[in-house]
């Protein structure tokens, strides 16, 4: 059974936690999109310090699992090496169980610089990116002539000349567009590439061939989405999105595997909504309710530490994400965070200029102005973090889950009641 795990909101739904859990019965775990803008938190047991993974697939904590960084990923080698070093200091040695696609594009220093300069120059209109160089790296991928791929690390002489030309062009662009007076040095960047080649070279391979081989041998493959459907470049709340296809549609382009290789699409949501960065968020609660959720759920970015914006569960958004991703079933995280709220609201529809909206709007400007229609359910007070079974949960908590299941018309297979690997109830 091959499974794709994908976020159905604006990221940080708890994908890392569910991938870590499901990787127990997977042979291969694959990241297919995004880069070090992602932050996937994994906690093996509730007493242990968490692991924050940015590029490594969340199956990496299991020795026998083959982990693959596929072609769709924007690879920041510096972050990857830091992550590997951190795992090693915590007793987890990664070696033969990690493979990197030669087709993956490399994030370079000039991408991060461009990301920062662009955001600074946009002022109020900024996207609120993670400044990890993601947009500029994918732009160069589309541009082709200015792109650097992981496989280029295997031919350093060619790369040296290529970098010289690219860096010269980037420096001219930074000076012209942003009056930048600190040009980057291509020799310095090349030296970095040499070190990356030494450390990562042996892991670089054709992962498309590897994955097709695994599929034909009947191995179990788990595809790990990054970000969420509403941050997808084509299908999200454009322009307040990331620069890759972070919904389930990115899987084929990002791996070279056909969609029919996947038996089950598992969508991950939180029991409420969050968003980091700018952009429309119809059910946002910029008030004491949002503040309560942020504090209780520790809603601060895994990658940037920024406070996440919080709001009620929005079934209009999630229903759209289910449709785009062909989602079969759902994992609902953070139900424990809802305890202590007097009422729990669910957004069930939008009105735009007084009229009912019948499909998720494509324009950010429209989404910015819609008014949410809510259904209100009773809250619960109990601490549910120790629950072992869905039936043990207080009636209002069960009712909330069952009502969401009814509206979304998909089974909610997993319910999260805490950060730890074991704090997931299976239904
Ligand atoms: P991802 O990007 O989708 O992998 O999610 P993140 O790791 O960025 O953010 C999810 C946060 O919620 C992390 O801090 C997780 O440890 C935490 N988390 C996940 N599931 C649950 C849950 O059911 N309850 C609580 N309280 N925390 C959870
Ligand atoms: P995971 O995988 C939440 C958001 C940024 C910003 C927008 C564009 O942990 O769910 P970018 O740096 O990609 O150009 O920023 O996308 N964003 C995320 N938000 N979780 C993520 O990843 C995100 N990755 C990018 O905050 O609004
Ligand atoms: Mg995250």
Structure token digits, residue 344: 């729990």
pLDDT at 46 over 90: no
- Cβ atoms < 10 Å from Cβ of 239: 11
362 phi, psi to nearest 5 deg: -85, -20
Maximum alpha-carbon separation in the chain: 66
Q: Which of 276, 266, 188, 178 is nearest to 227 (CA)?
A: 276
Mean pLDDT of the chain: 97
Task: Supply the DSSP symbol for 251.
Answer: H
Q: Which residues pair with 143 in a beta bridge?
A: none
Q: In terms of C-beta density within 10 A (0-12 exposed, 13-18 middle, 19 or more buried), how is residue 385 classed? A: middle
Q: How far is CA 405 from CA 339, 385, 398, 414, in A?
A: 19, 21, 11, 11
Query: In this predicted structure, which of 164-173, 300-309, 383-392 has the lowest mean pLDDT?
Result: 300-309
pLDDT-above-70 percentage for the chain = 100
**pLDDT tens per residue, range 126-136:** 999 999 999 99
CA-nearest residue, atom 1 of ligand 1? 12
Residue 55 in contact with ligand 2 by CB distance below 6 A:
no
**pLDDT tens per residue, range 10-22:** 999 999 999 999 9
Q: Which ligand is nearest to the CA of 276?
A: 2
CA-nearest residue, atom 25 of ligand 1? 418
pLDDT of 304 reads 83
* C-alpha 179 to ligand 1 mean position (Å): 41
Give the mean pLDDT of 64-91: 97
User: How far is 138 from 106, CA to CA, in rounded Å?
Assistant: 9
**pLDDT tens per residue, range 153-205:** 999 999 999 999 999 999 999 999 999 999 999 999 999 999 999 999 999 99
User: How far is 7 from 247, CA to CA, in rounded Å?
Assistant: 7
pTM (whole model) above 0.95: yes
Q: Which ligand is nearest to the CA of 269?
A: 1
Residue 246 in contact with ligand 2 by CB distance below 6 A:
no
Name the residues annotated as catalytic: 12, 40
Q: Which atom of ligand 1 is nearest to the CA of 17?
A: 19
Residue 276 pLDDT level (bands cut at 50, 70, 90): very high
Count CA atoms closer than 13 A to 372's CA, side-chain side.
21
Q: Which atom of ligand 2 is nearest to the CA of 40?
A: 9
pLDDT at 303 over 90: no
User: How far is 114 from 91, CA to CA, in rounded Å?
Assistant: 36
**pLDDT tens per residue, range 319-371:** 999 999 999 999 999 999 999 999 999 999 999 999 999 899 999 999 999 99
For 311, the enclosing helix (H) or strand (E) is: strand 309-311
Q: Which residues pair with 223 in a beta bridge?
A: 4, 30
Q: Which of 202, 204, 113, 233 is nearest to 166 (CA)?
A: 113
**pLDDT tens per residue, range 241-261:** 999 999 999 999 999 999 999
Q: Which atom of ligand 1 is nearest to the CA of 301?
A: 8
């Amino acid at each position: 059974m091959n499974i794709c795990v994908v976020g159905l909101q604006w990221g940080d739904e708890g994908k890392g936690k569910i991938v870590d859990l499901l990787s127990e019965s997977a042979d291969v775990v694959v990241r297919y999109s995004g880069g070090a803008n992602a932050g996937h938190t994994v906690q093996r047991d509730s007493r242990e310090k968490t692991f924050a993974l940015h590029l490594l697939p969340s199956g990496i904590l299991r020795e026998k699992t083959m982990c693959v960084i596929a072609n769709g990923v924007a690879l920041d080698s510096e972050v990857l090496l830091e992550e590997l070093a951190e795992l090693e200091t915590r007793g987890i040695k990664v070696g033969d169980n990690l493979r990197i696609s030669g087709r993956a594009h490399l994030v370079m220093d000039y991408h991060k610089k461009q990301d920062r300069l662009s955001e600074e120059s946009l002022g109020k209109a900024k996207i609120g990116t993670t400044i990890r160089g993601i947009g500029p790296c994918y732009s160069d991928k589309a541009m082709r002539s200015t792109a650097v791929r992981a496989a280029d690390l295997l031919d350093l002489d060619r790369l040296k000349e290529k970098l010289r030309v690219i860096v010269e062009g980037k420096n001219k662009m930074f000076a012209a567009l942003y009056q930048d007076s600190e040009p980057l040095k291509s020799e310095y960047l090349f030296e970095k590439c040499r070190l990356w080649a030494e450390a990562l070279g042996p892991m670089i391979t054709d992962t498309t061939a590897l994955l097709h081989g695994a599929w034909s041998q009947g191995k179990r493959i788990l595809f790990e989405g990054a970000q969420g459907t509403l941050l997808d470049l084509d299908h999200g709340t454009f322009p307040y999105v990331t620069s890759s296809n972070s919904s389930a549609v990115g899987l084929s382009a990002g791996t070279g595997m056909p969609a029919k290789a996947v038996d089950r699409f598992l969508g991950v949501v939180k029991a409420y909504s969050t968003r980091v960065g700018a952009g429309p968020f119809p059910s946002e609660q910029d008030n004491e309710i949002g503040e309560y959720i942020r504090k209780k759920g520790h809603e601060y970015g895994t990658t940037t530490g920024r406070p996440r914006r919080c709001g009620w569960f929005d079934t209009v958004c999630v229903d759209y994400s289910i449709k785009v991703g062909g989602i079969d079933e759902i994992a609902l995280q953070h139900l424990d965070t809802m305890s202590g709220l007097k009422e729990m609201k669910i957004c069930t529809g939008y009105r735009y200029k007084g009229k009912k909206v019948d499909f998720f709007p494509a324009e950010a400007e429209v989404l910015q102005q819609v008014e949410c229609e809510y259904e209100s359910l009773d809250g619960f007070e109990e601490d549910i973090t120790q629950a072992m079974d869905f039936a043990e949960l207080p009636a209002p908590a069960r009712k909330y889950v069952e009502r969401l299941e009814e509206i979304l018309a998909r089974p909610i297979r997993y319910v999260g009641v805490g950060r730890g690997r074991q704090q997931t109830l299976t239904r």
